[in-house]
Amino acid sequence: MRIRRRTVAVLSTLALGAAVAFVLPLVNGTASAATLEQTWEDTFDAPAGTLPDRTKWVYDLGDDGTGWGNNELQSYTNRPENVSHDGAGNLVIAARQNADPAVKCYYGTCSHTSARIKTQGKFSQKFGRFEARIKIPRGPGLLPAFWMLGGPDARWPLDGEIDIMENVGDSPTVVEGTLWGPRANGSGEYTKSGYKAMPFTLSDDFHRYAIEWSAGRVSWFIDDTKYLTICRTADVAPGCTAYGASGKWIFDDHAFYVLLNVAVGGDWPGAPPSTVPFPQEMVIDYVRVWGEAPARR
């Protein structure tokens, strides 16, 4: 989600419900006895119109001076019209058209506003299961995302990025997961990605998007379907796609924090045509995280 997309290797490859504990497969494709317990959640049970819980979330604001490295069109705000509870147990991130000349972007008056929230400085975790139940918006030029950045300072790409769910609006049935990190030779960013084309339009209903992350591997899920596993090159096993020797695997090194946002336009996926109606909403029912039981940490 962080920067302009380059050419990536696209790969096609039992999610669990909201139980408090379950068993996570660990390295080399072998089952482990590591039982996970819920370590963090937000179920967004708050009055309508209220902002996200400030004990759990902080904001990215503005356009980063560059459209967030991707020439995106939106300015992120902390205003209720862009991010607030709906009073029915959901958080709504709304991308809107903007006519206020005081809202400036790198290209002039911002054409759109939206919101990007994150748990940086509030919660981060290394390994476990990260899951959200989300109803995404639909339309070309929209890019809703549930993702993570590594390290307390998020030095990109050195500390890494895990995209749990992205959907390019002109591909309404396709969910994508991605790893971003540094190249092994230190020359820039490296990425490996995969996708799943579903037999339905993702924006028509809520779906559960998740990763299971353990030493040497990350697996992606939508609802009850695991569609991708990427492994550190040295740990390749049946059903596991190698990250690749050109990339430095940094996903065992530190904790990552969670982000949610809706981006508009940019080099990827391109500007929305005038036929796309606004506002466009991403509705989040919950975000939950599980980690290894305390006795095993």
* Domain at 174, CATH number: 2.60.120.200
Total tally of structural domains belonging to the chain:
1
Domain coverage including residue 278: 34-296
The answer to whether residue 28 is domain-embedded is: no
Residues 191/160, Cβ–Cβ less than 8 Å: no
**Tokens representing residue 147 in the block:** 């993702």
CA distances from 216 to 45, 158, 189, 211, 248 (A): 36, 17, 19, 13, 12
Please determine, for residue 172, whether its predicted confidence score (pLDDT) is greater than 70. yes
Residues 259 and 270: their CA atoms lie apart, in Å, by 22
Catalytic position from the list 72, 131, 166, 292: 166
pTM for this prediction: 0.90
Please determine, for residue 5, whether its predicted confidence score (pLDDT) is greater than 80. no
Report pLDDT for 28: 35
Residues 213 and 126: their CA atoms lie apart, in Å, by 8
The answer to whether residue 175 is domain-embedded is: yes
Catalytic position from the list 161, 176, 212, 281: 161
Q: What are phi and psi of 200, to 5 degrees?
A: -155, 165
The answer to whether residue 26 is domain-embedded is: no
The answer to whether residue 25 is domain-embedded is: no
Confidence of residue 163 (pLDDT cuts 50, 70, 90): very high
Report pLDDT for 161: 98
The answer to whether residue 266 is domain-embedded is: yes
37 is a catalytic site residue: no
C-beta neighbour count of 161 within 10 angstroms: 23
The answer to whether residue 21 is domain-embedded is: no
Residues 139 and 133: their CA atoms lie apart, in Å, by 20
Once rounded to an integer, what is the mean pLDDT over residues 132-138?
A: 98
Q: Map residue 70 onto helix, strand or coil.
A: helix
The answer to whether residue 12 is domain-embedded is: no
176 is a catalytic site residue: no
**Tokens representing residue 261 in the block:** 């946002």
Measure CA of the first residue to CA of the last residue in the chain; give whole Å.
Answer: 30
The answer to whether residue 88 is domain-embedded is: yes
